[in-house]
A and B are shown apart, each in its own frame.
Chain A
Amino acid sequence: MATSVRDEAVETLARQAVAAVSPAELPLFSASVTRYRADPQAALRGGQAGDRALGFGVEAAVVLVTPFALDLVKRMLTRLAEKLGDSAADSVAGRIVRWFSGDGDEGGQDRVELLTPEQLAAVAEATRTEAASLALPADHSERLADAVVAALATRA
Chain B
Amino acid sequence: MRALRPGALPSDTSTRFLLVLAAVTSASLYLFAALWLLFRGTVFVDAVARCAEVSGQLVPELVGASWEQLRAAQECRSAVSNEQAGVQVLGVLLVLLVGYVGYRAWPIVVQRRERLSPPVPADSVALLDEVDEVSRAAGIEHLPQLRLDATNTAVAGFAYGTRGRPRLGLTGGLVVAQVLDRPVFRAVLRHELGHLAERDVPWTYYAASVWWAFLGVAVVPVTVLFSVRDLDYLLRLGWRTAALAALVALTVAALLRVREAYADARAAGWGSGPELDRLLREAPERRTRRPVALRTHPTNAARRALLANPDGLFTASGWAALAAGVAAGTAQLSITDVAALVAPTGATGFAALLVAPLLAALVCVSAWRVGLLEAVRGRRVPAGRRLGLGLGLGLAVGPVLSVRAATGGLGVGPGAWVGYGQWVLLEVAVTWLLVAWLVDAARLRVAAALAEPAGPRRALIAHVVVASAVLALWLATSAQLLVAFTAMGSAAWQLAPVLVLVSESALVAGLGALPLLLVAALLVQPLGALRLAGRPWQRWSWGDARPTSEEPGPPRLQRPRVLATCLVVGGAAGLVGGSAALGAFLAGAGLDERTQGSDDFLVAVAEAIGGGLTIAAVGAGVAAAIALPRPWWPLGLLASLAAVAVAGVVAWLTMTAFRYGLVGVGGIADRPLGWAATRAGIVDPALRALVPAALATAVVGVVRPGRAAVTAAAPAAPSSGPGPARRAALAAVGGVVATAVLVSLPVLAVRDVAPLAITAPGYSVVVPPTWQAGADPATGSARFVTIAGDLAVDIAPVPAGAAADLGETIAVGGREAVLVERLQDGAVLWQAYRVQAPAGSFVVLVRGTPRAIAQRQEELTGLLGAVRWTDPGA
Contacts and interface: CB of A to CB of B under 8 A. Distances in A.
Interface of A: 22-32, 34-36, 38-39, 42-44, 46-60, 62-64, 66-67
A60 B185 CA distance: 13
Nearest to A63: B153
Contact of A62 (B124, B176, B259, B279): B176
A31 B170 CA distance: 12
A46 B120 contact: no
Q: Considering residues A26, A31, A38, A66, which has the most beta carbons from chain B within 10 angstroms of its beta carbon?
A: A31
Contacts of A28: 119, 123, 148, 150-151, 172, 175-176
Considering the complex of A and B, which 3 residue pairs feature the smallest CB-CB distances, nearest first? A57-B156, A55-B158, A47-B152
Contact of A57 (B158, B178, B282, B295): B158
A46 B151 contact: yes
A27 to B, nearest CB: 4
Contacts of A49: 154-156, 171, 286
Contact of A34 (B117, B126, B280, B284): B117
A78 B123 CA distance: 28
B172 A64 contact: yes
Q: Considering residues A24, A43, A48, which has the most beta carbons from chain B within 10 angstroms of its beta carbon?
A: A24
Contacts of A24: 175-176, 178-180
Interface in B176-199: 176-180, 188, 191-192, 195
B109 to A, nearest CB: 13
Interface of B: 115, 117-120, 123-124, 126-127, 148-160, 169, 171-180, 188, 191-192, 195, 200-201, 204, 208, 256, 259-260, 263, 279-280, 282-284, 286, 288, 290, 295-297
A44 to B, nearest CB: 8
Contacts of B175: 24-25, 27-28
A38 to B, nearest CB: 6
A60 B119 contact: no
B111 to A, nearest CB: 12
B151 A56 contact: no
B173 A62 contact: yes
Contacts of B126: 27
B86 to A, nearest CB: 36
Contact of B158 (A46, A53, A62): A53
B150 A31 contact: yes
B656 to A, nearest CB: 73
Contact of B160 (A25, A48, A50, A54): A54
A14 to B, nearest CB: 13
Contacts of B171: 47, 49, 57
B94 to A, nearest CB: 25
B148 A31 contact: yes
B154 A56 contact: no
A56 B295 contact: no
Given A24-B178, A50-B154, A56-B188, 5 more contacts: A27-B178, A29-B120, A58-B280, A59-B154, A62-B177
26 contacts: A24-B178, A25-B175, A27-B124, A27-B127, A28-B148, A31-B119, A35-B117, A39-B115, A42-B115, A42-B151, A46-B153, A48-B154, A49-B171, A51-B288, A53-B208, A54-B160, A54-B259, A55-B192, A55-B297, A56-B191, A58-B154, A58-B279, A62-B154, A62-B173, A64-B153, A67-B151
B204 to A, nearest CB: 6
A53 B256 contact: yes
A16 to B, nearest CB: 14
Contacts of B151: 28, 32, 35-36, 42-44, 46-47, 64, 66-67
A59 B115 contact: no
Contacts of A39: 115
Contacts of A46: 151-153, 172
B195 A54 contact: yes
Given A56-B157, A57-B157, A32 B172 contact: yes
A62 B153 CA distance: 6
Contacts of A63: 153
A27 B256 CA distance: 31
Contacts of A51: 286, 288, 290, 295-297
B157 A58 contact: no
Contacts of B159: 54-55
A56 B156 contact: yes
Contact of A35 (B150, B155, B200): B150
B152 A48 contact: yes
Q: Considering residues A24, A48, A53, A67, which has the most beta carbons from chain B within 10 angstroms of its beta carbon?
A: A53
B270 to A, nearest CB: 14
B200 A54 contact: yes
Contacts of B118: 31
B124 A54 contact: no
Contact of A59 (B169, B201, B260, B284): B284
Contacts of B288: 51
Q: Considering residues A27, A39, A56, A64, which has the most beta carbons from chain B within 10 angstroms of its beta carbon?
A: A56
A67 B173 CA distance: 13
B119 A27 contact: yes
